[in-house]
Amino acid sequence: MTIASLQTPTLGGEHDFINWIKSRSSPSKRMLLGPGDDAAIVEWGIHQADCVITTDMLLEGSCFRLAEAGPIRVGRKSMAVNLSDIAAMAAKPIAAVVSIGLPRQGGRHLAERLFRGMEEVASLFGVPIVGGDTNSWKGPLVISVTILGEVTERGPVRRDGARPGDWLLTTGALGGSILGKHLDFLPRIPEALEIHRLAPIHAMMDISDGLARDLHQICRASRCGAVLHGPSVPLTFEAQKLALETGKSALDHALSDGEDFELLIAMPEKSAQTLMAIQPLEGVLLHKIGHIIEEGVWLDPGNGEDFEPLGPLGFDHTLE
Ligand SMILES: [Mg+2]
């Protein structure tokens, strides 16, 4: 297949809805970055500082199973997924607000345990929970967390700045998060800030919907393509374990499972080479997993075999 004959695949439900919102919203001088990235940025206060804002809603039965995970782990996850989006912008989290839709029976006890989990993760990063809202109903548990953050003197990192020749790096092994990591991960905030301090990052996001799908998001936003080098994608033990049960390969799991919450980074080759050589992150290894090209998203299977087109495998937040 030639590159020219490639169709750009649609990213589906939630992505289409964001585009619909974008087509309707009128430009605002204070909206520096609107919907579609890991977080939005608005100009704030008389000093016109960048305020980074992100929100994420977790639904019982879809994002977690309360009976299996327990409320403290669910509380941790609801805070950590939002902090991960702040990390993806290379920003510092400043404050969180929380809204919860609780079941009427046992709601108070549940809320206290959720809060303990949230507070545990928030306090690790010095983030106060400054307010929110609770409500109760007959439906399942719903948790929405919003975080406000600030950028460093190097500014925010968006997902639309990748350029051909950039290397693609990630901060850890991928796949099989359903076996536990999706609840127990730590957002890569110190890692994102340290990489941003040391090197120019052209584009970054956190891997939430699956490596292949999130790579498509960066390519689409940056109007470029990418080659992912299959044998270089770091695989978790869990991806390998799941592969034995599902019949898919561990790499397939790494490409499509999602909720890894590692960082996917595009940066100039020279800077990436330096970072790879010095490995500046404490306890976290940077891996080179591919590079940015002009057009098309491809998987290089290694061993000199032909590249294969790589679709946006992963989790689509379907809207009908
Ligand atoms: Mg994200």
170 and 303 in a single domain? The answer is yes
294 and 172 in a single domain? The answer is yes
Report which of residues 8 and 68 the model is more confident about: 68
CA dist 138 and 250 (Å) reads 40
pTM (2 d.p.): 0.92
Q: What is the model's pLDDT at position 120?
A: 97
Query: Domain with 253 in it: what CATH number?
Result: 3.90.650.10
The CA 38 to ligand 1 mean position distance, Å, reads: 4
The CA 319 to ligand 1 mean position distance, Å, reads: 18
For residue 236, give Cα distances in angstroms to 31, 109, 250, 252: 39, 35, 8, 12
* 5 located within any domain: no
CA dist 287 and 298 (Å) reads 18
162 and 285 in a single domain? The answer is yes
* 319 located within any domain: no
The CA 109 to ligand 1 mean position distance, Å, reads: 31
The CA 247 to ligand 1 mean position distance, Å, reads: 29
32 and 57 in a single domain? The answer is yes
Which segment of 24-38, 133-147, 264-278 scores lowest on mean pLDDT? Answer: 24-38
Q: Cβ distance 90 to 157 under 8 Å?
A: yes
How does the average pLDDT of the chain come out, rounded?
92
Expressed as residue numbers, the domain containing 61 is: 23-151
What value does the mean pLDDT take over residues 125-131? 98
- Confidence tier at 5 by pLDDT (50, 70, 90): very low
What value does the mean pLDDT take over residues 283-304? 96
Q: How many domains in the chain?
A: 2
Distance from the Cα of residue 217 to its chain's centroid = 11
CA dist 174 and 190 (Å) reads 19
184 and 300 in a single domain? The answer is yes
pLDDT, one tens digit per residue, over 222-243 is 999 999 999 999 999 999 999 9
Does the pLDDT at position 62 exceed 90? Answer: no
The CA 89 to ligand 1 mean position distance, Å, reads: 9
133 and 179 in a single domain? The answer is no
* 183 located within any domain: yes
Burial label, 134 (beta-carbon count in 10 A; 0-12, 13-18, 19+): middle
- Confidence tier at 18 by pLDDT (50, 70, 90): confident
The CA 207 to ligand 1 mean position distance, Å, reads: 7
